[in-house]
């Protein structure tokens, strides 16, 4: 249950056995309230797993130099690896040595 400050109507959070307004600093003892309050923090990982396509036979190819072996042909595909409002990331996989690299716009 969320408790709001009676003075400024902003959210109050538990701190040192009291409910404290995050804006004006108004304090209220937890014992005065009808409900028990518990502050929980949820931490989520921003790690992303990038899947490298294994079946390259169906992918288009382009003329680009492989940074590892110098071959002039690679498979390519696009994948959204950042926020939706950011451009996609272009991936390449060398047709000769199989080295995979990426290119950002």
Domain residue extents for the chain: 1-33, 61-103
Q: For residue range 25-57, list pLDDT tens digits in order.
A: 898 887 654 444 444 444 455 566 666 555 656
How many DSSP H helices and E strands does the chain contain?
Answer: 0, 8
pLDDT score of 68 more than 50:
yes
CATH topology of domain 61-103: N-terminal domain of TfIIb (2.20.25)
- CA 63, 66, 69: angle at the middle one, nearest 5? 130
Q: Residues 27, 65, 86, 88: which is the catalytic one? A: 86
Distance CA 46, CA 14 (A): 27
pTM of the model as a whole: 0.46
Q: Point out the annotated binding site for Zn(2+).
A: 5, 8, 21, 24, 66, 69, 94, 97
| The pLDDT value given to residue 47 | 61
HSE-CB for 64 with a 13 A CA cutoff? 20
| The pLDDT value given to residue 78 | 85
Q: Where are the alpha helices (DSSP H) in the chain?
A: none
Q: Give yes or no: 105 in active site.
A: no
| The pLDDT value given to residue 53 | 56
Identify the band that residue 97 occupies on the pLDDT scale cut at 50, 70 and 90: very high
Distance CA 18, CA 27 (A): 6
Asked if 21 contacts 29 with a C-beta cutoff of 8 angstroms, the reply is no
Q: Point out the annotated binding site.
A: 5, 8, 21, 24, 66, 69, 94, 97
| The pLDDT value given to residue 66 | 94
Q: Give yes or no: 86 in active site.
A: yes
């Amino acid at each position: 249950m969320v408790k709001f400050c009676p003075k400024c109507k902003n959210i109050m959070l538990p701190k040192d056995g009291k409910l404290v307004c995050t804006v004006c600093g108004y304090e209220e003892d937890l014992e005065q309230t009808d409900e028990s309050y518990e502050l929980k923090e949820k931490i989520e990982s921003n790690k992303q797993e990038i899947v490298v396509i294994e079946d390259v036979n169906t992918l288009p190819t382009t003329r680009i130099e492989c940074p590892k072996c110098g071959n002039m042909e690679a498979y390519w595909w696009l994948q959204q690896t950042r926020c939706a409002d950011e451009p996609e990331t272009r991936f390449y996989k060398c047709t000769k040595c199989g080295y995979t690299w990426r290119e950002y716009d």
